[in-house]
């Protein structure tokens, strides 16, 4: 657990974290990021398409003495995203940190994947970032400062052995999207960076990939993925959460337009 929140790296800041619930039991990336932001002193808008999941995360923050609100929105819908951003501003009168974490994974290459699957993944993984930034950046411009952290993936830059072309393409798009924002808004005090997680053990990974790795055997899948990592063990949601709170803080005030790879060294094997 973090530092005294009043002295944390995000003390006095307001953060909005998308996908702040978890798609299954345990700690998903968004849930961990939201709680980590609160432990660093931020007031946190916990946004999820499932209100109950957002409420669970906000409840954890409240029980630890932090401040949070639960928000329900489909991040592929511009009107819902705008309403969520406005609710944060109405509650706390500012928005300092935006973490775009929402993401889905669907298997299939260009032949196997359906057109509907392609559109769905692109909307959730990439269009959502466009919509949140569209409505959050004006508040940051008015303040003269802001930090945006977009969760991408090493699949944006490397073949991971898994045929999920829509996921890889959407994450590659997220990386370039982040660079564009960083450069366009740098002189306005707004920073934007992407995190590229490697192999992680999170609820989002277990269900869609268990058949690909081990015919539905989750334990066997985890063992195989652990063996692929130079460290001998996959990372977890907290590894990404700690990176996100660093990039959101003033400790990263001279870091913008970059891709922070958090992968236990696995992409070094591909170089």
Contact of 245 with 210, CB cutoff 8 Å = no
Q: Cα–Cα distances in Å, from 177 out to 124, 212, 225, 264?
A: 14, 30, 29, 25
Judge whether 40 and 34 are in contact, CB under 8 Å: no
From CA 68, how far away is CA 56, in angstroms rounded? 11
Q: Which two tokens stand for residue 116?
A: 């509907």
Extract the tokens encoding 196.
Answer: 């590229």
Please count the other Cβ atoms lying within 10 Å of the Cβ belonging to residue 213. 19
Distance from the first to the final alpha carbon of the chain:
35
> Which among 15, 139, 18, 21 has a CA at the least distance from the CA of 68?
15
Would residue 167 show up in a list of annotated catalytic residues for this protein? yes
Give the pair of three-digit tokens for residue 224. 């195989």
3-class DSSP state of 150: strand
Question: Which residues share a beta bridge with 259?
Answer: 194
Q: What are phi and psi of 147, to 5 degrees?
A: -135, 130
List, by residue number, the catalytic residues: 167
């Amino acid at each position: 657990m973090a530092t005294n929140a009043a002295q944390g790296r995000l003390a006095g800041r307001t953060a909005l974290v998308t996908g702040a619930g978890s798609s299954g039991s345990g700690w998903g990336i968004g849930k961990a990021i939201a709680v980590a932001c609160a432990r660093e002193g931020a007031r946190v808008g916990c946004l999820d398409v499932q209100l109950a999941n957002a409420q669970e995360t906000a409840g954890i923050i409240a029980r630890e003495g932090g401040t949070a609100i639960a928000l329900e929105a489909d991040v592929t819908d511009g009107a819902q995203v705008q309403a969520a951003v406005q609710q944060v501003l109405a509650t706390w009168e500012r928005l300092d940190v935006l973490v775009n974490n929402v993401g889905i994974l669907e298997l299939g290459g260009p032949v196997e994947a359906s057109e509907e699957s392609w559109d769905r993944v692109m909307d959730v993984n990439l269009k959502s970032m466009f919509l949140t930034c569209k409505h959050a950046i004006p508040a940051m411009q008015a303040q003269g400062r802001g930090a945006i952290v977009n969760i991408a993936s090493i699949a944006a830059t490397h073949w991971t052995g898994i045929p999920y072309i829509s996921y890889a393409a959407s994450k590659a798009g997220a990386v370039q999207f982040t660079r564009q924002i960083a450069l366009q808004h740098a002189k306005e005090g707004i920073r934007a960076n992407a995190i590229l997680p490697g192999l992680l053990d999170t609820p989002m990974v277990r269900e869609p990939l268990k058949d690909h790795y081990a015919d539905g055997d989750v334990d066997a899948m985890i063992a195989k993925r652990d063996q692929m990592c130079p460290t001998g063990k996959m990372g977890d949601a907290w590894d990404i959460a700690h990176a996100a709170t660093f990039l959101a803080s003033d400790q990263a005030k001279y870091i913008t337009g970059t891709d922070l790879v958090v992968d236990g060294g696995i992409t070094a094997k591909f170089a």
